[in-house]
Structure 1
Amino acid sequence: MLHLKKGFLMLVLVMVFLGLLAGCSGSKETSSEEGGDAKVTLRMVESITSPARTKLLKKMISKFEKENPDIKVELISPPLKSADEKITQMLMAKEDIDVLEVREQTVKNFANNKFIEDLSRYTSQWKDWDTLTETIKHGATAVDHNPYYIPYGVYEKTLFYRKDWFEEAGIKVPETWDELVDAAIKLTDKSKNRYGYSFRGGAGAADYIEFMTWSYLGKNIVQNDAYFTKDGKTMFETAEAKQVLDTYLKLYKEASPPDSVSWSYPEMVQGFTSGMTAMLIQDPEVIVTAEENMKKGTWATAPLPKGTPSGVAQQPAGTAGWGIGAYSKHKDEAWKLVSFLSSPEQNLYFAKNNSLIPIHLSAGDDPYFKEGYFSSYIQMNAKPEEFLIADRPVEYKGYAEYRAMADKDIQALLLGKLSKDDALAKWSDFWKKEKANKK
């Protein structure tokens, strides 16, 4: 009997010992968030992926990890074509995503479905919020005026021009669309295969009809619903819209290569960098291409042409940046990473190496942006009363359908198969119906 009691006592002691071990083990795992030995691992997903950019991000993350030894970052880089879809699927599955890339075309969907965190409680105490440009603040607070992401840069268009051609012809750099058309015609010499303007008549042509019309209408458009005017009309049923199509057709017929009727982004950029055209309106990534293919001093940039008589230029400010997943278990640590990447020092580094317009006002003091090819972008951001932001109506169900339709209609217009009046009436009717259906 004594032998049995001793055996039972020994069994109890073993069980207690094992229980203590398990308790210690569990305590050590949870202590990782309370300053223990283990690290917090943040899952970060990017969207606009490329080998060069992923390498750049990893370098910045490595610096963050050195400054925050208790945090490890796992960067997930889906293929570019399916990245946004992949991120949406992860969010719908309530996966534990801590930091994710949010874009102007995804932020409303993510915010409305409560996939991403409202960052107000962080930005209200963030010392760098007040140093952001108005364009960046506008992008960050596009949904209900609350910040759902911190953009890391801006994709805006500006005027690229052949400085040597302008100096040779004694023509000043155009400041308005009317001046641009006049200069383009003067610089066109078809016998030398020289043309004044890199026209876009193919995919994406609707972009140029948009911001030309906005510039002519000026402050009469509704900023956050920019296909409509303040008096309730569609922008396509205005006198200014007819003026824009006249200008657009004149620019094509008298100052652009004939085959630019089908040009999209690659062709119009190549037209400029190869020495065929004198002017191009495009995003800042063209700067790298131009630096690689053109002689220094032969080209420069200038602010986007303004409308007449409005005296303003308007365009959408394309933004993308970093948000925090609503299902993250480490939101404070995620904000540490977002605020690190968004700091003036780190953002300047990212912008320089990724051909972007920086997000902080202080970037205007950096010689690289103040005096170089980016200076026109800095000038525009410094004058928000002259260079305005217009928001595309991307939340309407028919927006994608309209864009595809408009590109085809513009080609038909350029080829003489569709009249200006018919094109404008078609687009106006489309958006009247969209507006009615939205109500």
Structure 2
Amino acid sequence: MKISNRSTSTGRRRTSAAVALGAVLALTATACGDDGSGGGEGAEGSGKGKIVFWDNNGGVRTDIWKEIIADFEKANPDIDVQYVGIASTEYQSKVDTAIQGGGLPDVGGVGAAMLAGFAAQNALEPLDGRLAKSSLNGKLNKDMIESLKAAGGGDDKLYSIPTSANNGVLYYRTDLFKKAGLAEPTTWENFYKAAEKLTDKSKNAFGYTIRGGAGSIAQALDAMYGQSGITSFWDSSGEKTTVNDPKNVAALEKYAGLYKKVTPAADLNNDFTKMVAQWDSGTIGMLNHNLGSYQDHVKALGVDKFRGVPQPTGPGGRRVQVSNPVDGLGLFKSSKNKEAAWKFIEFALSHEVNSRFNESAGQVPANLEAAKDPWIEKAEPTKLAARALSDGSTSIVQLPYYLPDWNTISKADNEPNFQKVLLGKLSAKDFLDKMAEQLNEAQKEWKQQNG
């Protein structure tokens, strides 16, 4: 098991050799299948009975998944799906614990950001063969499939079927911008000007809300690379990360300097749900999130008071942003009813269902037919994101989701340190130098194991 609160790279080295063996031993006592109890490597099963589904974005996607499950059970009356919603911030640790102690589901959300860690522990069933024989073959976005293959850890196997692609979005209040006579925040220069002008602490009005709680690192990286214009996560050698390049250090200093100056103090501990709720209910000018919160903003503000545009452009008018992980569904090896679990995955990825799920989520569907449905034209941020990613105006910095330690480094090890940066207790340079050291060691270890 990968210990989520591990803080040193030395600890990672000591445990990496034991991961595969520990996972195999754990899996001999782990399975859900028909009865949810433990046992062995699992089996195909009868294709009937009970399966357990873990939602990796519980609370946010619960309603739409319950609708889909009800429709699936109606179409497959011999299969009963037990839904378990788990908050995105807790999902990886819950799965890691279940890998070690038993009780894994049959099927669950497995996005690119967590895929390598689960695959390294031998917990996921390879799905290439099933997809090749499926009615879904040839009907899913090839780039999303390749993204998940690349994130799997280096063996070129597909351990998750893509459901959605996400993208970073800068949401801004059009009513507040118009009142203040501000230009759209389509450049970083306009962004900083607006953040300052829209702030009036005496009226509890702020120009921006910054993510200081869970999930803060990816947003900070997006701001760094967007401003610096650096387009690769690794240098030309492929061994040293660019996160602590002087241009990125300067960018983070400027970005972190927004905290409490033009943002609420509560931002220090805000994860995305709190940050989104705060923006929807208050008088904050701008919010960086992704396509997933679009429907929340529509419900709270209506379509006339805000827009969601691609990230601001930086040097030379170019837009640079970090990759957003593709989300998907994985089949756990310990399942005793893999046939029924696969039926559920196929159903979830069918045209109508995948379209309905992504319309609710505001994300780009993996099903190629669903991606052509009319609602995408009506959801402006989704339409603009798709255009920005296809018209050559945007460079994507591919984050190393393939590193088994990526989630530990980008979450448990460094989110508390980013809070120290916001509070002025740790310099941006020291913060990024430490992260770079961890990333370089993880990259070296990964290359040795996969070389």
The normalised TM-score by structure 1 is 0.74
- Alpha-carbon distance in structure 2 between the residues aligned to 1:261 and 1:95: 35
Whether 2:172 is the aligned partner of 1:166: answer no
Name the counterpart of 1:30: none
- Alpha-carbon distance in structure 2 between the residues aligned to 1:347 and 1:95: 28
- Alpha-carbon distance in structure 2 between the residues aligned to 1:124 and 1:110: 23
Whether 2:349 is the aligned partner of 1:342: answer yes
Name the counterpart of 2:109: 101
> Is the 2:421–2:431 contact (alpha carbons within 8 Å) kept by the matching residues of 1?
yes
Name the counterpart of 1:196: 207
User: In the alignment, which of 265, 268, 274 is matched to residue 272 of structure 2?
Assistant: 265
User: In the alignment, which of 223, 230, 245 is matched to residue 236 of structure 2?
Assistant: 230
- Alpha-carbon distance in structure 2 between the residues aligned to 1:46 and 1:368: 27
- Give the superposition deviation at 1:119: 1.6
Larger Rg: 1
Name the counterpart of 2:403: 395
Evaluate the alpha carbon distance shift between residue 62 and residue 47 of structure 1 in structure 2; reply closer, same or farther with a 3 A threshold.
Answer: closer
Evaluate the alpha carbon distance shift between residue 233 and residue 310 of structure 1 in structure 2; reply closer, same or farther with a 3 A threshold.
Answer: farther
Deviations 1:330-376, CA, capped at 9 Å, x for gaps: 55554333222101211111223455442234445434332225434
- Alpha-carbon distance in structure 2 between the residues aligned to 1:262 and 1:328: 37
> Is the 1:195–1:256 contact (alpha carbons within 8 Å) kept by the matching residues of 2?
yes
- Alpha-carbon distance in structure 2 between the residues aligned to 1:333 and 1:203: 34
Deviates more, 1:336-345 or 1:167-176: 167-176
Name the counterpart of 1:413: 421
Deviations 1:107-162, CA, capped at 9 Å, x for gaps: 32443444332221233354545443455324432223332111322444311110
Name the counterpart of 1:177: 188
The one-letter code matched in structure 2 to 1:123 is L
- Alpha-carbon distance in structure 1 between the residues aligned to 2:415 and 2:334: 40
Name the counterpart of 1:26: none
Residue ranges of structure 1 left out of the alignment (5+ in a row)? 1-37
- Alpha-carbon distance in structure 2 between the residues aligned to 1:423 and 1:59: 44
- Alpha-carbon distance in structure 1 between the residues aligned to 2:180 and 2:49: 60
> Is the 2:163–2:328 contact (alpha carbons within 8 Å) kept by the matching residues of 1?
yes
Alignment of 1:11-410 (within 5 A): 40-41=48-49, 43-48=51-56, 50=58, 53=61, 56-68=64-76, 71-77=78-84, 98-126=106-134, 128-133=136-141, 136-141=144-149, 142-143=151-152, 144-216=155-227, 220-221=231-232, 226=233, 228-231=234-237, 232-252=239-259, 255-257=262-264, 260-261=267-268, 263-309=270-316, 311-328=318-335, 331-375=338-382, 376-383=384-391, 386=394, 388=396, 390-392=398-400, 395=403, 397=405, 400=408, 403-404=411-412, 406-410=414-418
The one of the two structures with greater contact order (alpha-carbon pairs below 8 A, sep at least 6) is: 2
- Alpha-carbon distance in structure 2 between the residues aligned to 1:48 and 1:415: 31
Name the counterpart of 2:3: none
> Is the 1:249–1:414 contact (alpha carbons within 8 Å) kept by the matching residues of 2?
yes
Name the counterpart of 2:7: none
> Is the 1:380–1:387 contact (alpha carbons within 8 Å) kept by the matching residues of 2?
no
The one-letter code matched in structure 2 to 1:101 is G
- Give the superposition deviation at 1:393: 5.2
The one-letter code matched in structure 2 to 1:371 is K
- Give the superposition deviation at 1:230: 2.9
- Give the superposition deviation at 1:298: 0.9
Evaluate the alpha carbon distance shift between residue 41 and residue 380 of structure 1 in structure 2; reply closer, same or farther with a 3 A threshold.
Answer: farther
> Is the 1:215–1:310 contact (alpha carbons within 8 Å) kept by the matching residues of 2?
no
Aligned residues between the structures: 396
- Alpha-carbon distance in structure 1 between the residues aligned to 2:59 and 2:441: 43
> Is the 2:188–2:314 contact (alpha carbons within 8 Å) kept by the matching residues of 1?
yes
- Alpha-carbon distance in structure 2 between the residues aligned to 1:256 and 1:115: 42
Deviates more, 1:413-422 or 1:333-342: 413-422
Evaluate the alpha carbon distance shift between residue 192 and residue 437 of structure 1 in structure 2; reply closer, same or farther with a 3 A threshold.
Answer: same
- Give the superposition deviation at 1:302: 0.9
Q: Percent identity?
A: 25
When you count helix as a share of all residues, which structure comes out higher? Answer: 1
Partner-residue secondary structure (3-state), 2:209: coil
Evaluate the alpha carbon distance shift between residue 432 and residue 50 of structure 1 in structure 2; reply closer, same or farther with a 3 A threshold.
Answer: closer
The one-letter code matched in structure 2 to 1:390 is Q
> Is the 2:310–2:381 contact (alpha carbons within 8 Å) kept by the matching residues of 1?
no
The normalised TM-score by structure 2 is 0.72
- Alpha-carbon distance in structure 1 between the residues aligned to 2:62 and 2:374: 26
- Give the superposition deviation at 1:249: 4.0
- Alpha-carbon distance in structure 2 between the residues aligned to 1:240 and 1:215: 11
